[in-house]
Chain A
Amino acid sequence: MAELTGKQNQSVDLQTLDYTLSADARAFFKVATSQEVDLFEQLKKESFSKPRMPTLEITCPKCGHEHELPIASLDSAVNFWHNPNLSLDCACGFTITHDALCAERLRHDYKQVLAGGPGIRGTFSPPFDRGSTISAQIKSHFAGAPPTLLSYPTVDTLLSIFQNPEHVAPFYLPTSPHSSACISLTAAVIRQESFVDKMHHFLWVRSPTLFTDTLPRAREKYKNFFRLFSLFPWETMVPTLDLDLFWHTHQLTPARYYYYCLQPSTTGRFIDHDDKLPTSVLDDGFGRTTERYRDTFGLEYGGCFCWACEIERNEEKVTGGWWIRLRREKRKLWERRVKVAFWREVEHRRSTGGEQVGLRGLEKVLAEGPKKRK
């Protein structure tokens, strides 16, 4: 195992949630990108006399003229990159839109295929058998006459040559001119935000049952979830929040995720994670996945994941005669309230920097039992 890293290499302090880079990492980033480490500092540095935002350079597909475009504006009357209805008139008479830029990217990649180069985007990833079909279709359709701006002006017209345009379309959505990724990373970050917000909302990271209950159960659920993919191969499975955390964590190390998916005991094929599905599909899918999960494993799938419910799941079932049970359940309920109140207090004092409450204090309150309000 690797040596315990020295203090200078650590970046996140879970106590304060500060993120600081080591001197080495700061130096690497500055040299690699010629940018300041802090984004706001970089913007201030770029603004000599008055504050300004970086602009994006977009190239007119028709005449090749380069336009400088603001990224965003608070004035909606201006043309800017984040305007979904961007429509920029070039001096050559062409109107530049997001679709036109995307079509230019696709035409460029077609021409590369026609010149004997590598395939278009989307053909480098599993399922691999699609790639050669797509390249063959491009070659046969455009034999002798590569697509031009006039003959194939839009993404739709360019995709119409395929039998299954939906295999290619996701890789040719509008992307930033300064990004070589096949998807819009800005959109990917925005989509990911809802998950970040949910995790912030539940704050499992500070939950008293994180390691005893939430994570072990979520990990088992994740493994079962993947078994569902092999049992019901052509269905879309919708994850619960807790197993989604493990799914996400796995994807952060792509090679491990890839080989995990491919092993026969898991699913035997690569499972993509599509966070672009519309809510209606997710809702239907979630209901079906819940049923599949319950029928297959006989276990609960969804549910509430707040601290109190997590503590309750962790508890042993109350036994005894009905009257004893009622009393015991009432007592348990009170204990849960106290535990949550305690750990809430811990988190509150951590975030506000007050003097911390002690574990023995919690023990004492629980031992003494409920006290009537005076």
Chain B
Amino acid sequence: MFNVPEVCRRAAETSTIMSELKSKVQHKRPSTSPRSPLQQLLWRAWRLKSKNVDDDDGYSGEQTEASDYAPPEFAAVDGEHDMPAAPSPEQFTPASLSAAGLIGEEEHAPTHVQAALHLGLLEVFWKYKDQFLRPGDEMKAFFSAAMDGKEVVWGDAEGLVLWKAVIEIAVGRFEAWWKVVGRETEAAKWAERGGESESEIWEPRHGPPKKVTELPPEMLPPLDVLIVWHSFLLNPRCYYDDCFALGMPGMLAVAFPWQAIVGFSHLLVNFGGADGKTEPIGRSPDA
């Protein structure tokens, strides 16, 4: 789990790193304030002078330029107000959590909180995937017998085969769940549009229904199914097509259940900052 990079990954050369890291444009500051030639010269000189620092922003406090300095020692937490929390619980207000409501005159980008929760959810996905990529003994025994019948030496390749098989099974489970949820949603949306006759068909070019409702909390699926739904939604054109082709346009107006995925009050409890007095993170006390 613990994976915060030791050094700034600008220096790392791995195939997994996005193209932006390889790109030539790597200013760390907004290019609105470029350094003047004189400044650049000074900067170069500075970098030469302390060349250990260069390209190794290893903030580990143990190596490089920091070898001049003793590694920092932090005192243990002392009381509730001293408890560090990342992400900060204050940020999670219910108003910014839900994506439900009527489509307005002007639509906005998602809120910071939704994006932060999304990040949390992706970590949960990562953890779920990892248990199949590097299976424990029980899973190893089970899947060796189920997929081969022989004793298997488990390596990366075997883990990948297993994970792909698990997704395939999850896709079947997703199908069953999605059909039921879709039917329920259609029924609910029809009831809402009560006045209209059944013969009025919702056409693709009309766009999705404009009343967005959150997926009811009791319909929240298991993690494997949620992973499939999540990836399906990230192909918006295909999702749009399928919702109409399969007669479930109401699914387009189902908001991702941020509220159900992580309850507001729960977060506060878990981060020990229910009084909202926890130090905001990211702003250092002396700044």
Contact = CB atoms under 8 A, between A and B. Distances in A.
B28 A363 contact: no
Contact of B228 (A185, A263, A337): A185
Contact of A171 (B9, B31, B210, B241): B241
B238 A207 contact: no
B282 A314 contact: yes
Nearest to B256: A252
B82 interface: yes
Contacts of A222: 109
A336 interface: yes
Interface stretch (A144-152, A156-164, A343-351): A343-351
Contacts of B275: none
A125 B10 contact: no
Given A124-B240, A186-B168, A209-B282, A10 B262 contact: yes
B276 interface: no
Contacts of A205: 86-87, 116, 119-120, 122-123
B176 A32 contact: yes
A314 B172 CA distance: 46
A361 to B, nearest CB: 4
A241 interface: yes
A253 B107 contact: no
A122 B18 CA distance: 30
A309 B57 contact: yes
Q: Is the interface of B mostly helix, strand, loop or mixed?
A: helix
Given A306-B5, A309-B57, A341 B86 contact: no
Contacts, number: 568
A15 B271 contact: yes
Contacts of A75: 147-148
Given A300-B31, A341-B59, A14 B120 contact: yes
Which of A124, A126, A246 has the most chain B CB within a 10 Å cutoff? A124
A312 B28 contact: yes
Interface residues of B, number: 175
A136 interface: no
Interface in B145-167: 145-148, 152, 158, 161-162, 164-167
Interface string A292-333: 001000111111101111011110010000100010011001
B263 A4 contact: yes
A203 B122 CA distance: 10
A326 B41 CA distance: 13
A17 B107 contact: no
Contacts of B78: 358, 360
A2 B98 contact: yes
B161 to A, nearest CB: 5
A211 B112 CA distance: 7
B37 interface: no
Contacts of A17: 1, 120, 123-124, 127
Given A194-B16, A212-B281, A286-B19, A254 B74 contact: no
B152 to A, nearest CB: 6
A175 B174 CA distance: 14
A245 interface: yes
A74 interface: yes
A166 interface: no
Which of A180, A206, A337 has the most chain B CB within a 10 Å cutoff? A337
A303 B26 contact: yes
Interface string A200-225: 11111111111111011011001100
Given A176-B172, A210-B281, A257-B236, 14 more contacts: A53-B165, A71-B168, A124-B242, A181-B242, A205-B122, A219-B109, A246-B110, A258-B236, A287-B23, A290-B23, A309-B28, A346-B84, A358-B74, A359-B279
